[in-house]
Amino acid sequence: MQIAAETVAIIPASPLSGLQISRLQQALEGLTPDQLNWASGYLAGQGAVLPAAQPVANDSPVMTILYATHGGNARNVAEALAAKARNHGYTSRLVSAEAYRPRDLSKERLLIVVISTQGEGEPPESARELFKFLKGKNTTSLADLQYAIFGLGDSSYEFFCQAAKDLEHLLQARNARNLVARVDADVDFETRTSEWNQVVLKEVEQVIPTDQARIIPLQQPHTSVRYDRNHPYQSAVLEKRRITTEDAVSEIDHLVLEIDPDAIRYQPGDALGLFFRNDPEQIDEILSRTGLSGETDVSLQGETLSLSKVLSERLELTQLHPAVASAWASLSDNPELIAINKDKNKLRHFCHERQFIDLLTAYPADVDAEGLVNLLHRQQPRLYSIASSQSTYEDEIHLTVSALQYKAHGRQHLGGASGYLTRRIDEGDSLDIYVAENTNFRLPTDGNIPIIMIGTGTGVAPYRAFLQARESQGSTGQNWLVFGNRHFHHDFLYQTDWLTYRKAGLLDRISVAFSRDDANRAYVQNRLSDEGVEIYRWLQEGAHLYVCGGLNMEKAVSQSLKEIIRLHGRVDEESAAEQFESLRTQGRYLRDVY
Ligand SMILES: Cc1cc2nc3c(=O)[nH]c(=O)nc-3n(C[C@H](O)[C@H](O)[C@H](O)COP(=O)(O)OP(=O)(O)OC[C@H]3O[C@@H](n4cnc5c(N)ncnc54)[C@H](O)[C@@H]3O)c2cc1C
Ligand SMILES: NC(=O)c1ccc[n+]([C@@H]2O[C@H](COP(=O)([O-])OP(=O)(O)OC[C@H]3O[C@@H](n4cnc5c(N)ncnc54)[C@H](OP(=O)(O)O)[C@@H]3O)[C@@H](O)[C@H]2O)c1
Ligand SMILES: Cc1cc2nc3c(=O)[nH]c(=O)nc-3n(C[C@H](O)[C@H](O)[C@H](O)COP(=O)(O)O)c2cc1C
């Protein structure tokens, strides 16, 4: 039909293909002007109902967005980039490092990596295989690969963003080319992401212009609400009780939170991320030392709130970050502080045992309310291992929280989150939470496999979840708990649970090490050596080993295990180390350390 053909012909740069245009022409053929008017309204209405057409997108991914995370931050950053890429018309393959086959690197053309740093400058467990592959002797060339890396870290640590730096080094050694400069993002990483997204996508556009892509369906799949650090879930505290004696070295509480099981799902091994309120006494002192009023309105990320609310709920007061001390040095113009600020290592040590209040007290400075809010960092959520299994407590989450406290600079210091949870929060109060998945600390899928669970202090928490899950799944594999703490009578955490499981036959063995009960400091690694024959036998039977708690404890445990393999496997040191390494590769040595 002449009219329709002319109409189509004058539409500039039609988004329709030739075939679609000809179909449209056929459909409109023979319609009266009234009918055409009606049809145009109908089509406009259809267009309004559907989400606005995305520019264009390829049906095969143009880039891989790989993330390696422990607490979920890197995943959030990667997901945000994938969503932005989609809006630009690009499909991407979003994949966790543990699900990624390193050999596929040679097939990639565009690889975007978001990676955090853990331990002492190490990559997250999920990226172990990737790093191993890149460090390996294979000759894979990555000359056709262009990459971009977003590193997440914390400059309070000695090896800031080391995993991102190492990864870049390894990729470059194989001739991969940099698409954009690596970003080493600090605790305020969220402030860096949107600019990075733009820079990356601009460069991707140079490599693959969007008009080379093809249309993808307009409607995005419906996704249910996911609670994460940007959208926490409001749980209620159902129960809180002390599980160490009054005279114990560490003050540890067991907390029970109420959740809606339709909204929150978790697995044994996962941690819980949570936000907290700072100590009101500390806030009063900050206000009094600065001469500011808590009633003053301040703006924070587009919101207007009172200064006392912002100090209580939004800002970081108890972890003093080097960047904050540095800004305070400029503000106070104090020569001593300025000198410390010039030496990175000194500054890190200085911050380690201080809170913001120490800085303010020792180095007073004039600051107004907005200035204070801009200077302090936003509160970082803290992670706590989940001590329950949802198969046993469907609508609850249990936590084991130790109050972090230390004396320094003439005052008693209490950790922000652990202080809130152990001293200030009450039953009935609400708590903003989200599940921080830890797919690298999972029970074996085969319930027949024996497990050895090694933990010190609060590191025992996930094993309570493990045993509950093994019980409710009717797993037949043997279970051995190796637990260490300071005193049998003061801090044998969850003793009655273990004894009940022991009686019921669920817990086959329990070995304990109390470090301060006598002069010989007994640690879990000593217990492992004492039980070396049996440990070796369990390993031969395919046992999976878990280690949870302090970083140094894990180092000592891995050392002790290598020694056990050497001694009882009658092999030399090198092959003991190789066998231990192979346990890790097989996913039979899993650790969750902090
Ligand atoms: C995956 C994971 C799981 C975890 N699970 C648990 C758990 O189940 N239970 C648990 O209790 N904790 C757990 N933690 C630790 C927890 O996340 C917090 O780090 C801990 O509770 C301290 O946080 P806070 O806010 O109380 O202290 P913050 O306010 O964060 O203060 C910590 C700061 O105090 C300083 N500091 C710490 N110790 C000393 C010291 N001895 N002397 C001087 N300065 C010091 C350092 O600067 C440190 O950065 C886990 C951590 C991770 C990463
Ligand atoms: N950053 C870290 O490395 C780290 C490590 C652990 C805990 N923490 C924090 O400290 C707080 C209290 O933790 P907690 O009371 O649960 O436990 P903890 O401080 O880890 O102590 C638990 C037990 O582990 C022992 N231990 C200490 N060093 C060890 C090592 N190298 N090898 C083996 N065992 C070792 C302790 O013995 P002794 O005390 O008698 O030596 C104690 O018996 C928590 O807030 C936690 O976050 C931090
Ligand atoms: C136990 C632990 C160890 C860490 N070690 C380092 C480190 O050595 N270097 C660093 O830059 N950041 C370190 N960080 C900070 C994390 O990299 C940072 O919090 C990051 O945002 C976490 O991202 P994720 O949630 O994706 O794992 C460490 C954090 C934790 C909890």
277 lines ligand 3 (CB under 6 A): no
Rg (the chain; Cα; Å) = 28
Q: How much distance in Å is there from the Cα of 141 to the middle of ligand 3? A: 30
d(CA 510, CA 498): 8
Ligand 1 is surrounded, with C-beta below 6 A, by 271, 318-319, 352-353, 382-385, 400-402, 404, 406, 408, 415-419, 458, 461, 592, 594
The structural domains of the chain, with segments of one domain joined by +, span 2-49, 63-212, 280-375, 451-593
Q: Is 255 in contact with 239 (CB distance < 8 Å)?
A: yes
- Ranking 43-57, 513-527, 561-575 by mean pLDDT, the lowest is 43-57
The ligand minimizing its distance to the Cα of 127 is 3
510 lines ligand 2 (CB under 6 A): no
160 lines ligand 3 (CB under 6 A): yes
Q: What are the pLDDT digits (tens) for 70-101? A: 999 999 999 999 999 999 888 899 999 999 99
Res. 557: pLDDT tops 60: yes
- The domain over range 280-375 is classified in CATH as 1.20.990.10: yes
Q: For all residues of the chain together, what is the average pLDDT?
A: 91
Instruction: Tell me the H-state helices in 88-189.
Output: 128-135, 162-173
The pLDDT of residue 89: 87
How many CB atoms within 10 Å of residue 571? 14
Res. 519: pLDDT tops 90: no
The pLDDT of residue 30: 67
Spatial CA neighbour of 406 closest among 394, 416, 415: 415
Q: What are the pLDDT digits (tens) for 149-169? A: 999 999 999 999 999 999 999
226 confidence band (pLDDT: 50, 70, 90)? confident
Q: Do domains 63-212 and 280-375 have the same CATH topology?
A: no
Nearest CA to ligand 3 atom 1: 594
Q: What are the pLDDT digits (tens) for 393-433? A: 999 999 999 999 999 999 999 999 999 999 999 999 999 99
The pLDDT of residue 38: 73
- The domain over range 451-593 is classified in CATH as 3.40.50.80: yes
- pTM as predicted: 0.89
- For the stretch 533-536, contacts whose Cβ atoms lie closer than 8 Å and that sit 24 or more positions apart, written own/partner, are 533/568, 534/509, 535/452, 535/561, 535/564, 535/568, 536/564, 536/565, 536/568, 536/569
Six token digits for residue 82:
């994938």
Architecture of domain 63-212: 3-Layer(aba) Sandwich (3.40)
208 confidence band (pLDDT: 50, 70, 90)? confident
Distances (CA, A) of 33 to 1, 29, 38, 246, 513: 12, 11, 9, 88, 89
On the CB side of 571, how many CA atoms lie within 13 Å of its CA? Answer: 15
194 confidence band (pLDDT: 50, 70, 90)? very high
Beta bridge partners of residue 591, listed in sequence order? 547
Q: Nearest-5° angle of CA 8, CA 10, CA 16?
A: 45
Non-local (6+) Cβ contacts of 23 within 8 A are none
Instruction: Tell me the H-state helices in 119-216.
Output: 128-135, 162-173, 190-207
Q: What are the pLDDT digits (tens) for 468-493? A: 999 999 999 999 999 999 999 999 99
| Percentage of the residues of the chain whose pLDDT score is greater than 90 | 84
The pLDDT of residue 16: 59
332 lines ligand 3 (CB under 6 A): no
Nearest CA to ligand 2 atom 21: 457
Q: What are the pLDDT digits (tens) for 2-37? A: 334 333 333 445 555 554 555 566 567 667 767 777
484 lines ligand 2 (CB under 6 A): yes
The ligand minimizing its distance to the Cα of 464 is 1
Average pLDDT over every residue of 535-561: 98
